[in-house]
Structure 1
Amino acid sequence: MTRRQLLLISAVALGTLLNPLNTTMISVALSRIQADFDLTFSELSWLISTYYIASAVGQPVMGKLSDMYGRKRIFMLGLFMVTAASLLAPFSPSYGWLLGFRIIQAWGSASLHPAGMGLIRNEITGNQARALSVLSIFATTSAAIGPTLSGYLLYYGDWNLIFFVNFPVIVVSFLLALRYMPGDPPNKREALRLDGWGIALFSSLILVLLLFLLSLPERIGWHWLVLWTIGSVFFYRFEARHQQPFIDVKFLRSHPAVCQIYIHFILVNAIYYAIMFGFPSYLQQVRHFDSQQVGTIMLGLAAFGILVNPLAARWIDRSGSRSPLIFGAILVIAATLFMQTVGDEADSGWIFFVLSLFGMSGSFHNLGLQTALYLYIDRANTGIASGLFMTSRFIGTILSSSILAAFFGIRMATDSLHAMAWVCSALAVIMLLLSVKTEKRERHQDGHSRHSEVKGAMEKQS
């Protein structure tokens, strides 16, 4: 790999880490933001859910725009949007302004991954797996250290600092991109069409579902559920007739096993992010830990996920995804049951241990489900499957914010944490059943070539 290619990878990697970094850094800052703007937890949950709605819609939309208008152009636009949002968000005069800037930040960071991936696939024809694995390490590490970094920043300052962290990353990524990214070819707008109505319908469905979930703690809004059901049927029929749909529902209909993997991944992220966002607020408001202590404790969720990752990869490579997925689900069930022992007198070391179980399970699920996904589809459908896999991640995170609003929306207390843990336990049992149903398929079709195809596809998705 040449020096120019390495610097191109660095530019893309630094850009793509902005989304997971900003996704998780906000977790420890939620308590301070809630106090500054005098918010209920239900109101505060919109700061999480709107970011994920924007990201879920923005990833495929900005990916198609990068095909139409040029990948370098869209990558630079994404960096500019993150810069503007990070500069203005710390000085938000009201909560509504902060929400708006976070949405801009989400759209900007969502454009960096698809545009950067397109650039790398075009420019690096050899050793692509190595290049894409570097991106995976950057994304995984940034997501994992987000809460810890935020905790230390808040200890020495305020929630505004989490936005300023972006600037060194943006500057280096911009300079490298300006120098080493190839120019864009002529636009191909005539060959591609953006499914605007599909995007609008999908966004509306996510919003309506979120409104229904947020109504659960108080007065259940059944009208939102009815509206979502009718809208889903209409969306399915509309997308099935569209030549270039935003969501390829025909592909989903013909691949039920893939749909099962998406549902599984939604549940994984719903639990993981409910813990990631719920625990810091609980530790600060109920246990009265300072932000530095919270950051250190949350390191259990981050560090063990990174440490276990290579071990999980070897296990999956040797025996397939079924057994690691079952083990990961058992870890989640154990962790959610242990959460019942976390109370007003629980030792911080014990809380660290409980969080480490969640962190370890994340590695087994992320790698296991990606491997299972690419065993069910052929090479021609990899792009479709990958895009929907990312969308299912964001749907899970949206569900997590609704879970938090349901249990912490009325009051932040230990019994609310325990009630949320029981719901997470129930979801983990469903995950276990889905893991057991995962078929154990032969991975080495046609010898080494099949093995390389699966491994390369998995690394590309990461």
Structure 2
Amino acid sequence: MNARSRWLMISVGLGVLLNPLNSSMVSVAIPRLQNVFQLNFTVVSWIIFSFYIASAIAQPVMGKASDLFGRKKIFLTGLVVAFVASLLAPLSPNFGWLIVFRIVQSIGTSMMVSVGMAIVRIHITEKQATALSVLSIFLSGAAAIGPFIGGVLIHWWDWPAIFFVNIPFVVASFLFAWRTIPKDEPSASVARNMSFRKWLDLIDASGVLLFTVGLVALLVGLLSAKSSGHVSFWYVIVGLIGLVLLVAFIRHELKTPSPFIPLRTFAKYPAITWVNVEFILVNVLFYSIFFGLPSYLQTVRHVSEFHTGILMLSLGLCSLVASPIAGRWIDKSGPRPALLVSAMLMIFGSVWIVTLNESSPVISVCLALAAFGISNGLNSVGMQAALFKSSPKEMIGVASGVFMTSRYLGTILSSLLIGIVMGDKFSFGGFRLLGMILTVIALSLVFMSWRRRESGNLEELEFHK
């Protein structure tokens, strides 16, 4: 890899790490935001919901936009948007404005993620696999150390620091990207000749609107009822409207020629469907711990943000160490054994949470974190390998897009689960109940992994016959 390629990797890497970094740093900031804005846990959890909903929508939309307007333009625009959001978020006069800037930040960072991989694939032709693996280290590494960085920043400089810390990364990435990313203008004429209506059809604006409004309405109905402690007619109506809109979204996606989420893929390829269902459940488990444990440590056990960040580092480090080991194991044995072991580890971690009491040593949570960290490393490689194994070659691109959507859905569902279980206040009893629910989900994953193994054995037997 020559010097220009290395600088291109650095410029893209500094940009794409902002999305996972900002999605993970906030896990340590939730108790602090509750105190600052005098809000309950359910309301503050929208700082998580808003980011992932916006990311789930922005990444596929911006991927299509880059084909029309050029990947360099989208990447640089994303950096500018992220810069503005990171600068204005700490100045928010209230929590509502903070959510607005958080959404803008999510859109900006998603613009870079959606085109960063494509830029590397197109412009780095030598040792491309190595380049892509380095880019994945930027992504996974940022997510892994995010809680630690967030804990340190909040401890020394308070919550605005988790936004200001983006600015040097944005500036460095912009300067490098401006000089190193080659121009790509082949589709500019197509974009100029395309009508606004055709552009809306291309990005499936109707599907995006139905998905966004339906999901937000359903979440508002469910979370508001739990937070208030009673079910009112208003909450029921809002939740039902959300449910109806999501049903309309499914019908729309099955009919439209350019769907936002290609649901026809699920109907046509059941194996891909089951891989994505498992991936959703895996992310529900992982992110329930990822977002739940920092609040437990700070709210229930009164651990400082700094020490919470240090404890959470064990989750990220175990994940990073397990990933390359998982790659070699899966190359030899296939994804099924690794996924089965991963599910067993998540059962152990969930049961361990249930056994904790209010006098348990704080350091003992590291066992649960290590179990979930190792399982995440196994899953990050194993689930992708299972996806490629179950997907026809001509469907890899579409299947990968659906796979990323499943990650975001799992993350959103994890936040919903925590919000419903905890209500307006994060408590020890609620945390134990969360552990019980996660144990049931992990047990279902073991069953699904075992069925996958039995199904695979039957397919091989039929093949030999």
Whether TM-score is above 0.5 comes out as yes
Count how many residue pairs are aligned between Structure 1 and Structure 2: 443
Report the Cα offset of residue 241 of structure 1: 2.6
* CA deviations over 1:253-307 (Å, ceiling 9, x no partner): 1011111111111111112111111111121121111112111111121111111
| Aligned residue in 1 for 2:422 | 408
* CA deviations over 1:106-148 (Å, ceiling 9, x no partner): 0000110121222222212343211111111111110000001
Matches within 5 A, 1:104-253: 104-186=104-186, 187=188, 188-189=190-191, 190=193, 193-215=202-224, 217=226, 218-219=229-230, 223=237, 226-253=240-267
Q: Mean alpha-carbon deviation: is it higher for 346-355 or for 229-238? A: 229-238
Q: Mean alpha-carbon deviation: is it higher for 219-228 or for 310-319? A: 219-228
Q: Is the partner of 1:438 in helix, strand or coil?
A: helix
Report the Cα offset of residue 156 of structure 1: 1.3
AA at the equivalent of 1:194: I
AA at the equivalent of 2:55: S
Contact 1:51–1:106 (CA<8 Å) still a contact in 2? yes
Distance of 1:16 and 1:437 partners within structure 2: 36
Distance of 2:337 and 2:124 partners within structure 1: 34
Distance 1:215 1:90, change over 3 A: closer
Contact 2:22–2:146 (CA<8 Å) still a contact in 1? yes
AA at the equivalent of 1:397: T
Q: Structure 2: any 5+ residue segments left out of the alignment? A: 458-465
Instruction: Say if 2:389 is the partner of 1:375.
Output: yes
| Aligned residue in 1 for 2:92 | 92
Identity over aligned residues, as a percent? Answer: 40
Distance of 2:32 and 2:145 partners within structure 1: 19
Matches within 5 A, 1:281-320: 281-320=295-334
Report the Cα offset of residue 212 of structure 1: 4.3
* CA deviations over 1:387-425 (Å, ceiling 9, x no partner): 111111111111111111112223222111101111111
| Aligned residue in 2 for 1:80 | 80
| Aligned residue in 1 for 2:46 | 46
AA at the equivalent of 1:211: V
Report the Cα offset of residue 317 of structure 1: 1.1
Instruction: Say if 2:32 is the partner of 1:32.
Output: yes
Distance of 1:335 and 1:253 partners within structure 2: 34
AA at the equivalent of 1:202: F
Contact 2:216–2:242 (CA<8 Å) still a contact in 1? no
Distance of 2:72 and 2:320 partners within structure 1: 31
Distance 1:215 1:428, change over 3 A: farther
Of 324, 329, 338 in structure 2, the residue corresponding to residue 324 of structure 1 is 338
Q: Mean alpha-carbon deviation: is it higher for 272-281 or for 122-131? A: 122-131
* CA deviations over 1:154-191 (Å, ceiling 9, x no partner): 22120111111112211221111000111121413257
| Aligned residue in 1 for 2:276 | 262
Contact 1:62–1:111 (CA<8 Å) still a contact in 2? yes
Distance of 1:133 and 1:36 partners within structure 2: 40
Report the Cα offset of residue 84 of structure 1: 0.5
Contact 1:326–1:432 (CA<8 Å) still a contact in 2? yes
Instruction: State the TM-score, normalized to the length of structure 2.
Output: 0.91
Contact 2:323–2:380 (CA<8 Å) still a contact in 1? no
Q: Structure 1: any 5+ residue segments left out of the alignment? A: 443-462
| Aligned residue in 1 for 2:442 | 428
| Aligned residue in 2 for 1:348 | 362
Of 390, 403, 413 in structure 2, the residue corresponding to residue 399 of structure 1 is 413
Contact 2:215–2:246 (CA<8 Å) still a contact in 1? no
AA at the equivalent of 2:63: G
Instruction: State the TM-score, normalized to the length of structure 1.
Output: 0.92
| Aligned residue in 2 for 1:453 | none
Q: Is the partner of 1:247 in helix, strand or coil?
A: coil
Report the Cα offset of residue 228 of structure 1: 4.5
Contact 1:272–1:362 (CA<8 Å) still a contact in 2? yes
